[in-house]
Amino acid sequence: MVRQAFTARQAAVACEYVWRRMEQKAGIRKSDPSTWPERYDIEEHLRNPEVLECFTDRIANAIGQLVGHSRWRGERRWGLWPVNFSFGRSRPYDFPTTGWHIDGNWFTHTVNSPKQGLLVVGLFTDIEPRGGGTILSLGSHKRTARVLAGHPEGIGHRDLFREVLSEPIGNFHEVTGSAGDVVLAHPFLFHTKGIKHVGGPRIISNTEAGLRQPMVLSRTLDTDYSILEESIRKALREAPEVPPDARACRFLRSGRGTCTRPRRRVHAGHVPDVHRRGHHHRGRNRSSAVVHRHGPRDSRPVAGHHRPADRIALAGRRA
Ligand SMILES: O=C(O)CCC(=O)C(=O)O
């Protein structure tokens, strides 16, 4: 977690753009809670300068520390905006057993893929306990790494989810924090939307920190590994463990042929190809661009005193 990576003031200004866009797209009005759904995702980059400024040098430096400064593509942008108004409010609070995924439904997953880099989650509102924060399954990145290593040819995201989730996952951690905090998580870490019992609408942005080249997991010099590469090597060396609180989790709702969010179309992917694929948003708001989906629709730690290889593995613990 990078605490106060941008200011609460910057976050509040960005939220105004999020509200404006939700109203334009779906008639969701900040001043009228009767228009609020349980959840809504703006599947766009918001390109307003004030929003982009929230991707500060502190975030960029922290990403560089984890993946290698010269290896990160350096794209500073905020992607998907999942807004949690009241997800699961009618149910008793618990960690969800559905919706579990890693991001990246726009590429074939491999253990060294450069596409995702890191899962970057910016908190644009304060998130208190039970306030609908993202739930992470700490340590699940290790199982993902092992599954991916078994598919050198690559694997689609749905098959990947099925394989990783064929065993129970656990060590659940709810992301809480203040507006302006940013979680940098392992790209292989399974996560899902948390049930929301308290607080006002929760606004986050999920994005990736794509790499210039595929990761290299067998280098000549030990000192050349990035922290991310080192964490994957470590995951592949370690004996698999099932956490004591492990539960059977899945991506889709059990027994239904649909995803957890059936109401929206599955997009083929997430952002980086927006330009190449000509998916520029041409609507009223010219400062946004369509984002390809990376979540359950179809489908972190930073500078500190931990040994580098532990930092990624700890993702979210200090959220
Ligand atoms: O809303 C959340 O907390 C998680 C959202 C997410 O992971 C996604 O949409 O990909």
User: Looking at residue 285, what is its pLDDT?
Assistant: 42
Cβ of residue 82 lying under 6 Å from some atom of ligand 1: yes
Q: Answer whether residue 209 is part of any domain.
A: yes
CA of 192 to the centre of ligand 1 (A): 6
> In ligand 1, which atom is closest to the CA atom of 41?
9
User: Looking at residue 79, what is its pLDDT?
Assistant: 86
Which residue's alpha carbon is nearest to atom 1 within ligand 1?
193
pTM of the full structure: 0.84
Confidence check: pLDDT of 31 > 70: yes
Cβ of residue 134 lying under 6 Å from some atom of ligand 1: yes
State pLDDT tens for residues 158-206.
999 999 999 999 999 999 999 999 999 999 999 999 999 999 999 999 9
> In ligand 1, which atom is closest to the CA atom of 295?
10
Q: Answer whether residue 62 is part of any domain.
A: yes
CA of 267 to the centre of ligand 1 (A): 15
Which residue's alpha carbon is nearest to atom 9 within ligand 1?
295
Q: Answer whether residue 103 is part of any domain.
A: yes
Is residue 257 within 8 A of residue 17, CB to CB? The reply is: no
Q: Answer whether residue 1 is part of any domain.
A: no
> In ligand 1, which atom is closest to the CA atom of 194?
3
Q: Answer whether residue 26 is part of any domain.
A: yes
Q: Answer whether residue 150 is part of any domain.
A: yes
User: Domain span at residue 231?
Assistant: 8-313
Q: What percent of the chain has pLDDT over 70?
A: 79
State pLDDT tens for residues 140-167.
999 999 999 999 999 999 999 999 999 9
DSSP bridge partners of 211: 72
User: Looking at residue 253, what is its pLDDT?
Assistant: 75
Work out the pLDDT band at 40, boundaries 50, 70, 90: very high
User: Looking at residue 293, what is its pLDDT?
Assistant: 53
Number of separate domains in the chain: 1
CA of 81 to the centre of ligand 1 (A): 8
Is residue 57 within 8 A of residue 43, CB to CB? The reply is: no
- Mutation probe of ligand 1 site: the residue of 41, 251, 263, 293 with most atoms within 8 A of C-beta: 41
DSSP bridge partners of 34: none
Which residue's alpha carbon is nearest to atom 2 within ligand 1?
193
User: Looking at residue 210, what is its pLDDT?
Assistant: 98
Cβ of residue 88 lying under 6 Å from some atom of ligand 1: no
Q: Answer whether residue 318 is part of any domain.
A: no
CATH of the domain at 133: 2.60.120
Q: Answer whether residue 258 is part of any domain.
A: yes
Cβ of residue 206 lying under 6 Å from some atom of ligand 1: yes
User: Looking at residue 55, what is its pLDDT?
Assistant: 98
Work out the pLDDT band at 316, boundaries 50, 70, 90: very low
Is residue 170 within 8 A of residue 243, CB to CB? The reply is: yes
Is residue 8 within 8 A of residue 55, CB to CB? The reply is: no
